[in-house]
Structure 1
Amino acid sequence: MGFLTRRAALLGASALLAASAIAAVPAAAQNLTIAIGGSVTSLDPHFYNASPNNSVTSHFFDKLLEFDAKAQLVPQLAESWKAVEPTVWEFKLRRGVKWHDGRDFTAEDVAFTVKRAPNVPNSPGGFGGFVRAVEKVEILDPLTVRLHTPGPYPMLPTDLASVAIISRHAGEGAATEDYNSGKAAIGTGPYKFQAYSPGSRIQMVRNDAYWGGRPDWATVDYRVISSPPARTAAILSGDVDIIDTVPSSDLPRLKEEPKVELTSIQGLRVIYLSADRSRDENPIHVTDNDGKPLPRNPFNDLRVRRALTMAIQRDALAERVMQGTASPNGQWLPPGAYSYNPDVKVPAYDPEGARKLLAEAGFPNGFRMVLSSPNDRYPNDARTAQAVAQMWTRIGVQTQVEALPWSTFSARANRQEFGMRLVGWGSATGEASYALINILGTYDSEKRTGANNSGRYSNPELDELTAKALGTLDDKEREDILKRAVKMAMDDVAMFPLHQLVNTWAVKKGLKHEPRMDERTRAMDVRPD
């Protein structure tokens, strides 16, 4: 069954899903404490498309559609959806949904969301790519909205599953600071805002009037503990109930710990390297071997990019640095995913071939560079960067690592302040276009592409192929086009994939946790036993 066909099959069962969602849930007057490693930079659900932010805001805000734990579409604020014309999608909205302040949720809120999502000031990587295909919003009645697209666009329901719906009455005139303060954090979600300490803690309380049934937890204390050893200590001491990104070095110990259970699932996140392509001259943090500026950007030379990717020993990264918690990859989706291309192999480790390519490109003696990395965002992020730096140094590219806290790193990356950076991308939609639009698509604020393309990679031919795929109605034909796009991007070394993560959590014994492929850590996925 094809990607869109699988999702379309859900439509007939939407009423059943809605009924089961509203079914009574045991109301336990319990409190849940969560600890994650990634820093939460805002409670504005449209500010930054980053997993820690999305994990937290999903407690306060719902979407028209949502992805389940295995990246399949399910109804949320939209009870059903269909293409009434090739360029018109109609969404029937759920009745009886209330905002946290008691006002009714209507189609006006959907229209306001579509308008606001791509226009958040100072966003380091927002959500414009998910509504870029919407040309016009038509409200038929308070619970029916039609979204018009310039041409056939079968991916619109999938795109909208990444966009939180915000209230018009609370959001008009509101800035990101108003969401962070709680003033505008009025959602329809299962939990309500209580307090937010940037970078450290978010506190929330149960929404007893939630349309999906009364949530399990009376309060949720959502903490940021960036230090992996400190997260492990917190779960072992009982100070928290669940932690994410379990340190690979602690897995053997935690497996033997009677007070803790581990849950895991193959993740959709690839850890990769991205080169700055925004400069042709005077590249940032790249010099000759004497420390003098280079007249041209070596990363704009395909031979240099191929040399660098050939010099990475991905098996060693997965085995030694990640200790078996990741698998080497040469693209951005795991095997078996829709539009994964089996013909795109993991680049072979060939340091001798890499040196020859560098010489052909005019760098027989290599050059010097800085590899920037977060040190508190992804499992073993700084360690991975150090290992890659050693591999590149062996072929003559003297590489120094700059490791930074995520809050600082993400802001600087958005300003193109890194020559080469380590980052991660989770394809929450479970298919290739999510990355093709947002991290590999040419940056264009008007077209709303490349929102997370901090390296400013641009390939017009790839953009055309992506657009062709997104306008193709047939699932199989679209998948074939996306596979071609994956190969084109990897042949051009548009990014340097390293490995695909396995998502692992540690949970206090006696709690049930459903792990998610999109790695989000949510109170809704933890239940009393």
Structure 2
Amino acid sequence: MMGRWLTGSIVIGIIASIFAGCSVNSSSSTNPMEQSDVHATGRVLTIGTTADIESFDPPNNANTVSEAVLVNMFDYLLKNDNNQHKIPVLATSWKKTDDNTWRFNLRQGVHFHNGDPFTAADVKYTLERVAKDTSLKQNSYFKNIAEVRVIDDYTVDIVTDGPDPLLLNRLCKTGAGMLPSKYIDTNGIAAFLNQPVGTGPYKFGKWMKNDRVELVRNDEYFGGKPKWDEVVFRALPDSAVRVSALLAGDIDIATGLLATDSKRINEVKGKTIVKAPIQRVLQIILRMSEGSPTADPKVREAIDLAINKQSLVNSIAGGAGIVTRTSVTPGNFGANLSLYKQALYNPSKAKQLLQAAGYSTGGPEIHLSASSTYKEYASRISAMLDQVGFKTKLDVLEPGAFMERYDSKAFKEAFIIGIGNSLFDASNNFNRYLKSAAVGETDYNNPKTERLLQAAATNTDITLREKQYQEVQQILAVDRPAVYLFQMEGIYGMDQRVRFEPRKDEMFYAEDIIPVS
């Protein structure tokens, strides 16, 4: 059973029996993403997640769940520890040589999972690809990289098209996961996506889409022998299913749990709840397109005032959250603390605003979409809106369907989403309100906000830059292209077989999760 320590012929027999009865992945399949000869014969770590990954192409993923898996396969040049300190990974050192250039010295003796050596050519390919290919979901974070100059096999200069105060932060994001240029040049990107290789501590084993990702130990990892023989990420969108899997011993860690799950887990011997603050803020994104009822600022304000944010925190989150009128929380650059721990609940005024907007005999009809991950919040918010006069049409989607609609910007008036901040910087949250990025989603367009965001993007004066982002937050608190609800707290279920300390960025580095024998 996944999540337990299994050895020798016992594990082989169990795995064989499981897959013999599984119609999803028969032995006759020729899809390499659905078959693998490799199975662990030792320690297996199994994590139950809220959704499946999007793909094995690091720069073409746009959610935290995907990155939390891929960080185990694809190394960055450097990464953040839990306190935002930069740690060398594939780069051993770096320095700024002029306003637009950083030089990186690369680690020698590193190989990709297929045996290709890691060199400067891979850095050039990886970063210039994500910077130039506008179809990649991470392009907006890296498009300011103008060029990667190869000095020698183990030295590169990363040149930006202007001063970039965030380059090091960007290089700690999923779009900067290093790719094997020689392998992709020879075989093509499609072949890579079917049989992906990185330099990380774990190699690709199997992907059963919308079910699980299986990774196996990379015995040639430059950082030493990995702790786990196999790491499994199971996609279990329903919180109750994740809890049941944890209690049954099928998984070692259950992510994204509700406060109401805590008692059930803590009452079982060998299971416990772990909590930690995370960067994620639950929010409602509103469409401001001409003709939409939410284009009216009175309607958007009425939505804000109709929602009892503290009630959501107390009842559904079990107190594990902090209400806010901004999505930039303390610990992130540019946070405006005057908007943090603030809420504007006033249902009477919400009703008055709807009347002033011309809805005297019944509020506007709005479609509110949400992933099933947040279905309890969505249901409660829908009821609150209806109480002040809205006619809310609730649309709850499975996580995969939600992300497809999100990527295509196909939501109607409103959708609920939890947005994290892997950059630890206000730009991560607010660049979606640049005019070019907002088209088709919110259609937000405020020239003053545009000027501030554009200026902050290249401002190396950190004092002025911080003030620019703080002013943006004051404007957004009035314009309301989004209604911010509360900063979330991560709630995880854990089996006594492992020792796990959650990270603020919600990553699951398997090497940081300790097996308890």
Residue in 2 aligned with 1:84? 97
State whether residues 82 and 503 of structure 2, in contact with CA within 8 Å, keep that contact through their aligned partners in structure 1: yes
Residue in 1 aligned with 2:181? 168
TM-score by length of 1: 0.84
Residues 4-30 of structure 1, C-alpha deviations (whole Å, 9 max, x = no match): xxxxxxxxxxxxxxxxxxxxxxxx942
State whether residues 368 and 415 of structure 2, in contact with CA within 8 Å, keep that contact through their aligned partners in structure 1: yes
Compute the displacement of 1:336 (Å).
4.5
State whether residues 371 and 402 of structure 2, in contact with CA within 8 Å, keep that contact through their aligned partners in structure 1: yes
TM-score by length of 2: 0.86
State the alpha-carbon separation in 1 of the partners of residues 400 and 369 from structure 2: 13
State the alpha-carbon separation in 2 of the partners of residues 200 and 181 from structure 1: 17
1:424 aligned to which of 394, 406, 418: 418
| 1:361 has 2:357 as partner | yes
Compute the displacement of 1:516 (Å).
0.8
Within 5 Å, which residues of 2 pair with 1:120-519?
126-162=137-173, 163-172=176-185, 178-182=191-195, 185-277=196-288, 279-280=289-290, 296-345=291-340, 346-364=342-360, 365-376=362-373, 381-419=374-412, 420-437=414-431, 439-444=432-437, 454-519=441-506
Residues 146-197 of structure 1, C-alpha deviations (whole Å, 9 max, x = no match): 1222322121111121121211123348777545422xx1101110001111
State the alpha-carbon separation in 2 of the partners of residues 235 and 177 from structure 1: 35
For structure 1, the 5+ residue unaligned runs are 1-27, 281-295, 445-449
Higher mean Cα deviation, 190-199 or 138-147? 138-147
Q: Secondary structure at the match of 1:46?
A: helix
State the alpha-carbon separation in 1 of the partners of residues 140 and 111 from structure 2: 28
State whether residues 307 and 381 of structure 2, in contact with CA within 8 Å, keep that contact through their aligned partners in structure 1: yes
Compute the displacement of 1:468 (Å).
1.8
Q: Secondary structure at the match of 2:450?
A: helix
Compute the displacement of 1:131 (Å).
1.0
Compute the displacement of 1:407 (Å).
0.7
Residue in 1 aligned with 2:68? 55
| 1:41 has 2:54 as partner | yes
Q: How many residues align?
A: 471
State the alpha-carbon separation in 2 of the partners of residues 239 and 260 from structure 1: 12
State the alpha-carbon separation in 2 of the partners of residues 314 and 176 from structure 1: 45
Q: Secondary structure at the match of 1:217?
A: coil
State the alpha-carbon separation in 2 of the partners of residues 147 and 118 from structure 1: 11
Q: Secondary structure at the match of 2:472?
A: helix
State the alpha-carbon separation in 1 of the partners of residues 144 and 214 from structure 2: 35
Q: In percent, how many aligned pairs have the same letter?
A: 27
State the alpha-carbon separation in 2 of the partners of residues 121 and 91 from structure 1: 25
State the alpha-carbon separation in 2 of the partners of residues 430 and 260 from structure 1: 32
Task: Judging by fraction of residues, say which structure has more helix.
Answer: 2
Within 5 Å, which residues of 2 pair with 1:85-124?
85-118=98-131
Compute the displacement of 1:95 (Å).
1.6
Q: Secondary structure at the match of 1:165?
A: coil
Structure 2 CA distance for partners of 1:458 and 1:161, relative to 1, 3 Å: farther
Structure 2 CA distance for partners of 1:265 and 1:174, relative to 1, 3 Å: farther
Compute the displacement of 1:319 (Å).
0.6
Residues 348-402 of structure 1, C-alpha deviations (whole Å, 9 max, x = no match): 11112222222333333321121111103xxxx0111111111111221111211
State whether residues 515 and 525 of structure 1, in contact with CA within 8 Å, keep that contact through their aligned partners in structure 2: no
State whether residues 37 and 224 of structure 1, in contact with CA within 8 Å, keep that contact through their aligned partners in structure 2: yes
- Report the AA paired with residue 306 of structure 2: A
Residues 394-415 of structure 1, C-alpha deviations (whole Å, 9 max, x = no match): 2211112110101111112222
State whether residues 46 and 120 of structure 1, in contact with CA within 8 Å, keep that contact through their aligned partners in structure 2: no
State whether residues 373 and 423 of structure 1, in contact with CA within 8 Å, keep that contact through their aligned partners in structure 2: yes
